Amino acid sequence: MRVLVTGASGFLGRAVAARLSAGGHTVRTFQRRPSGVPGVEDVHGSITTPADTPYAGLAYAVSGMHAVVHLAAKVSLTGDPAAFEAVNVGGTRTVLQASQDARVARFVYVSSPSVAHAGSSIMGADALPASPDHARGDYARSKARAELLALAADAPEFSVVAVRPHLVWGPGDTQLIDRIVDRARSGRLPLLGHGAALIDTTYVDNAASAIHAALDAADRVHGQSYVITNGEPRPVAELLAGICGAANVAAPAWRVPAPVARGAGALIEAIWRRRPGADEPPMTRFLAEQLSTAHWFDQRRTRADLNWTPAVSLDEGFERLAAHYSPAP
């Protein structure tokens, strides 16, 4: 199968492109920077540029493809709402249109469980409906709108599946793992509440293999959304301790009440809008909710429909992470 992967310079996108290429597919990628994936054809460009614009690249990138896996997105805790809308919604609309014009048969939209998170705990739920009106934060709201847009394009000749990998992590992750380690090393990583909220996560190889499985199953399961996780919910304190232990830094030992963290997050967001920092803010309301509420998911439908099971356990993932931080001499 000839497959286009958008956003392959990102952590998960790179893993997906490599997985598909290793599986025998002919892979082309589309993003602003080189993907760094051996054996794939990189095409550079932006999903916010109309597909029919000369030299934009997207029209070429999607030409001759049987399938598209769309990962390119603006991912951040804060930022200009218009930028989230332009990239996550407008960009998805452009990629969908280009794919339909090129007569692509399968389209996998990579979404996020945050599209259905309204701020309270999610315990053992399946993929709840995406809700732009109730999702928390500009990223989640824009991803919810984009998921609904993608699923609305599903048709007999254009099979669309939405997958929602939850908290993807692994060696080389600069978005989640490196930030946790850096903040723990500098003593800026607290536990919110008692750190007992159960949270699902997804090791990166499992997320990539699940997306591959969704691509293979698209003609059977099109029009549906699936949450992807390791299926091993752990208390947030245990997860943070595992990550910190793998990196040889001390696990968080100080606590902040969850309501205090939410209030601080709101204040920091207001300051960040006026004077953005160089990195992500240390706390936001969304982040405080994610670290203090349970969110774990029923994986039975996902595994049965996609004919998929995760191959890498959390404990094995921590071992691989430790090897990454302390490679053998």
Rounded CA-CA distance 48/98 in Å is: 12
The residues, ordered by sequence, that sit 6+ positions from 128 with a Cβ below 8 Å of its Cβ are 116, 122
Can you tell me the distance from the alpha carbon of 71 to that of 117, in angstroms, rounded to the nearest whole number? 20
Dist. CA 329–CA 321, nearest whole Å: 16
What φ, ψ does residue 72 adopt, rounded to 5°? -55, 130
Residue in 55, 60, 109, 139 annotated catalytic:
139
- Burial of 170 (C-beta count, 10 Å sphere; 0-12/13-18/19+): buried
Percentages helix, strand, coil for the chain (3-state, rounded to 5) are: 40, 15, 40
- Asked about 226 being catalytic, the answer comes back as no
What CA–CA distance (Å, rounded) separates 159 from 220? 9
In contact, 111 and 149? CB cutoff 8 Å: no
Looking at the annotation, which residues are catalytic? 139
